Amino acid sequence: MKVTDHIKNGNGKTQFSFEILPPLKGENIHSIFENIDPLMDFNPPYINVTYHREEYVFKELDNGLIEKKIVRKRPGTVGICAAIQNRYEVDAVPHILCGGFSKEETENFLIDLQFLGIDNVMALRGDAVKSETYFTPEKNGHKYACDLVLQINALNKGTYLDDELQHTFPTDFCVGVAGYPEKHMEAPSSESDIHFLKKKIKNGAEYIVTQMFFDNEKYFKFVEKCRAEGITVPIIPGLKPIAVKSHLNLIPHRFKVDLPDALVMEVVKARDNKAVRQIGIDWCVQQSKELVKAGVPFLHYYSMGKSSNIKEIASQIF
């Protein structure tokens, strides 16, 4: 079922969803199930599965030359989605990227998803590969998520890349896209970022999931600005609890989001990471309660593959 239909079926009640990462290459899928199992008590109608593109690793050889190796640390997005739908009978929402994909590969990826009975995709540009500063699209690939959304929408109308194909079967994907309450790191202004967010919606996206934020005011202002720009689709808030002290530096650095002073000070004063984990849970519970009051359709939690703190939060909300 489509995410937009799950929202309609919620009849205004806030529902629970979460995002997982495929395991590192070499690890077992059971580590994923062990983290999903406890969260099924809160009836998530869908589970998102992130996509991780290749990275370049540079290794010095004995002869002094540098070898460039291409590695994918977390493959398996499509397989995990199929396993989730099969094991839990809930919808899986795979993330699909511009980065690393030509249009042809994108089309083939979408065909696989359709054959697996997957009804939703989260369309993203992806970041630059770690060794590069700026995002570079694949040869004959997409530069921005709005162009990827356009391709998915064309396929939904039965328009494949090969225009000689006859009697094509249209796909029927519900497309989600990313939104940034604190602006995307590369956007020159929040206005321009919202302008291009609107383009993703115009090109066929039906809902937005936000980057994590730790101050609900940022989300409320973002929604207000989107509505003023004529974006009417659901805007699902994304939440992540702080779990360890090092998150104070890692989260702003990696995701370009601010942490409120009050939260930072509590974490700084915490005795150890056990205390930090509890602070993170309490903060996230307060955020969740206020967002439920505001009538958000879903609370979407970034689990990062660890479910125990998300379970504690969800048990206080759902």
| Chain positions contacting ligand FAD, by CB under 6 A | 50-51, 53, 95, 97, 124-127, 144-146, 178, 184, 186-187, 192-193, 196, 199-200, 209, 211, 238
CB of 112 to ligand FAD, least distance (A): 17
**C-beta of 105 vs 186, nearer to ligand FAD:** 186
**C-beta of 125 vs 277, nearer to ligand FAD:** 125
CB of 46 to ligand FAD, least distance (A): 13
Q: Which two tokens stand for residue 262?
A: 């009050």
186 to each of 80, 104, 141, 193, 211, how far by Cα in Å?
A: 31, 27, 20, 9, 14
CB of 273 to ligand FAD, least distance (A): 26
**C-beta of 27 vs 186, nearer to ligand FAD:** 186
**C-beta of 50 vs 120, nearer to ligand FAD:** 50
CB of 73 to ligand FAD, least distance (A): 12
CB of 123 to ligand FAD, least distance (A): 7
CB of 193 to ligand FAD, least distance (A): 4
**C-beta of 100 vs 260, nearer to ligand FAD:** 100
**143 within 8 A of 137, measured Cβ to Cβ:** yes
CB of 181 to ligand FAD, least distance (A): 10
**C-beta of 4 vs 276, nearer to ligand FAD:** 4
**C-beta of 242 vs 257, nearer to ligand FAD:** 257
